[in-house]
């Protein structure tokens, strides 16, 4: 039997496993994706009934710290995963993340803001980063034939996390005695749920055999689409992390993510407030909006990843940044709830799309062998954008609600960023 036949047989015998591992990856991402429900908690912290007396800027700090800390988690998680395997990293990340959320649940008043920052921000963000990077790098190895789509599905789970968490959090806060005054108590229940489901998902993680070849991949390699041939050629060599960092392409891809996150997260961080102040939503309707938008965040990761397999990664990013920018320019001028929903859906879909498309783009540019470390470092763009976006939008909006100024600036940032994917090209292999 030939080497190729042996490899194919080995891959075929393991084919069933990859779908279980994909399901585990989605479950972990659903768990940690609950971070995007923060605006529902932020609104509860600022409500009249709340024992917390926080400014808009103070309310955003735990979320900003969490997004900032995740880079440290993805950086370390990617490096450890490349050496030790995915399971131990994911399990550690889920535990640290859940402990952080539970710790944040013990904050009771304004003076406990530090506890929210430490638990939700520092521990939660670090654990989130550890767990987030694992399925992305691992599943590209299990699904080399569907790299864009499958990584989109995996990170799509992250976007869907808020769909479950936001209405659940709102129900706990509004329905449990004493929770309106101390809404952070909801984190005690949610953190426990994250721990259970996250551990279940991470427990099935493993890398495929070195000779793994899934059914259909040979046929896919015979296709003669010009861009697929280019991607296959470019991925023939696996860059090490140091080699990738020595290329301008790594910095261009990281900057694309930074711009997309900065623009999109500006709405995500104030979604509940913007819905009530701009389009007249009730508090409950605004919480529902946040949850529904999680569907578009998740769907965008799958949709744009699949689209990028068809039209090319660069074309996909041009669409992601362009549509996001136009919608941000329009949203502060809309008082109609239906149109607000549509524009918000476009922004969330494009925001999620960047996360769904970039892992496969990095794989195309640098190969997948060291993708955990290479893509993990790229997520510094998520941290930078996650800090700049909420800070900038909250400062621009200010106490007097200058939404037009705030979203206009963010829309322009996204539109200017369109030039980045236009000039990005895969590195030449030695």
Q: What is the pLDDT along the chain (430 residues), one digit of tens a residue?
A: 333 333 333 333 444 588 899 999 999 999 998 887 887 888 888 888 888 888 877 888 898 889 888 888 888 887 788 788 899 999 999 999 999 999 999 999 888 999 999 999 999 999 999 998 888 888 878 887 777 778 778 777 887 887 788 888 988 998 888 888 889 999 999 999 999 999 999 999 988 887 777 765 554 444 434 445 444 444 457 888 889 999 999 999 999 999 999 999 999 888 888 898 888 888 788 878 877 887 888 788 889 988 988 898 899 999 999 999 999 999 998 878 899 999 999 999 999 899 889 988 988 898 877 777 788 889 889 889 988 998 899 888 876 778 999 999 999 999 999 999 999 888 875 4
Domain membership of residue 41 as a residue range: 16-208+228-423
Tokens 């290329």 belong to residue: 247
Which of 244, 252, 248, 351 has its CA nearest to residue 294? 351
Give pLDDT, residue 4: 35
Q: Residue 108 corresponds to which tokens in the numbers above? A: 């009771």
Is residue 8 a part of any domain in this protein? no
User: Rg of the chain's alpha carbons, rounded to an integer?
Assistant: 21
Give pLDDT, residue 11: 38
Which of 380, 376, 342 has its CA nearest to residue 359? 376
Is residue 406 a part of any domain in this protein? yes
H or E element that contains 184 = none
Give pLDDT, residue 215: 63
Is residue 54 a part of any domain in this protein? yes
Tokens 């952070």 belong to residue: 184
Helix, strand and coil in the chain, % to nearest 5: 80, 0, 20
Q: Which residues contact 193 (CB under 8 A, 6 or more apart)?
A: none
- 267: domain CATH number is 1.20.1250.20
Is residue 429 a part of any domain in this protein? no
Give pLDDT, residue 363: 84
Give pLDDT, residue 216: 58
Is residue 341 a part of any domain in this protein? yes
Give pLDDT, residue 88: 93
Phi, psi of 283 (to 5 degrees): -60, -45
Q: What is the pTM of this model?
A: 0.73
- Render 268-302 in DSSP notation, one character per residue: HTTHHHHHHHHH---HHHHHHHHHHHHHHHHHHHH
Is residue 415 a part of any domain in this protein? yes
Task: Give dist(CA 132, CA 339) in Å, integer.
Answer: 33
Measure the CA angle with vertex 146, ends 248 and 17; round to 5°.
120
Other beta carbons within 10 Å of 231? 22
Task: Give dist(CA 93, CA 194) in Å, integer.
Answer: 11
Q: Using an 8 Å Cβ cutoff, are 249 and 424 in contact?
A: yes
Give pLDDT, residue 152: 79
Give pLDDT, residue 236: 53
Q: Which residues contact 237 (CB under 8 A, 6 or more apart)?
A: 367, 429, 430
Other beta carbons within 10 Å of 226? 8
Q: Using an 8 Å Cβ cutoff, are 372 and 81 in contact?
A: yes
Measure the CA angle with vertex 69, ends 381 and 268; round to 5°.
65
Is residue 1 a part of any domain in this protein? no
Distance set, CA 43 to CA 37, 284, 391 (Å): 11, 11, 16
Counting the structural domains of the chain, the total is 1
Q: Using an 8 Å Cβ cutoff, are 27 and 232 in contact?
A: no
Task: Give dist(CA 419, CA 412) in Å, integer.
Answer: 12
Is residue 218 a part of any domain in this protein? no
């Amino acid at each position: 039997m030939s080497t190729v036949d042996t490899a194919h047989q080995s891959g075929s015998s393991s084919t069933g496993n990859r779908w279980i591992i994909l399901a585990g990856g989605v479950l972990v991402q659903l768990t940690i994706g609950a971070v995007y429900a923060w605006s529902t908690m932020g609104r509860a912290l600022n409500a009249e009934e709340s024992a917390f007396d926080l400014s808009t800027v103070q309310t955003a700090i735990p979320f900003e710290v969490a997004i900032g800390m995740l880079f440290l988690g993805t950086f370390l998680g990617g490096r450890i995963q490349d050496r030790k395997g995915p399971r131990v990293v994911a399990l550690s990340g889920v535990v640290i993340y859940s402990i952080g959320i539970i710790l944040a649940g013990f904050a009771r008043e304004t003076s406990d803001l530090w506890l929210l920052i430490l638990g939700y921000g520092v521990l939660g963000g670090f654990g989130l980063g550890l767990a987030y990077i694992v399925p992305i790098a691992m599943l590209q190895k299990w699904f080399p034939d569907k790299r864009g789509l499958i990584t989109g599905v995996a990170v799509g789970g992250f976007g869907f996390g808020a769909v479950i968490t936001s209405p659940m959090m709102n129900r706990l806060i509004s329905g449990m005695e004493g929770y309106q005054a101390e809404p952070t108590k909801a984190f005690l229940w949610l953190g426990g749920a994250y721990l259970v489901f996250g551990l279940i998902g991470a427990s099935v993680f493993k890398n495929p055999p070195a000779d793994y070849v899934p059914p259909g991949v040979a046929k896919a390699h015979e296709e003669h689409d010009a861009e697929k041939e280019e991607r296959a050629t470019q991925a023939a060599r696996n860059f090490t992390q140091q080699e990738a960092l020595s290329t301008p392409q790594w910095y261009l891809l990281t900057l694309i993510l930074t711009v997309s996150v900065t623009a999109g997260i500006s709405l995500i961080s104030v979604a509940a407030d913007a819905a009530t102040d701009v389009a007249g939503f009730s508090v409950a309707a605004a919480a529902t909006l946040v949850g529904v938008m999680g569907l578009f965040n998740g769907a965008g990761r799958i949709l744009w990843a699949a689209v990028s397999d068809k039209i090319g990664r660069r074309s996909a990013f041009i669409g992601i940044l362009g549509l996001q920018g136009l919608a941000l320019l329009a949203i502060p001028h809309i008082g109609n709830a239906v149109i607000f929903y549509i524009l918000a859906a476009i922004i969330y879909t494009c925001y999620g799309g960047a996360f769904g498309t970039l892992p496969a783009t990095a794989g195309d540019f640098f190969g997948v062998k060291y993708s955990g470390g290479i893509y993990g470092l790229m997520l510094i763009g998520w941290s930078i954008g996650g800090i700049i976006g909420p800070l900038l939008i909250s400062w621009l909006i200010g106490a007097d609600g200058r939404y037009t100024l705030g979203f206009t600036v963010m829309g322009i940032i996204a539109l200017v960023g369109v030039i980045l994917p236009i000039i990005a090209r895969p590195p030449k292999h030695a």
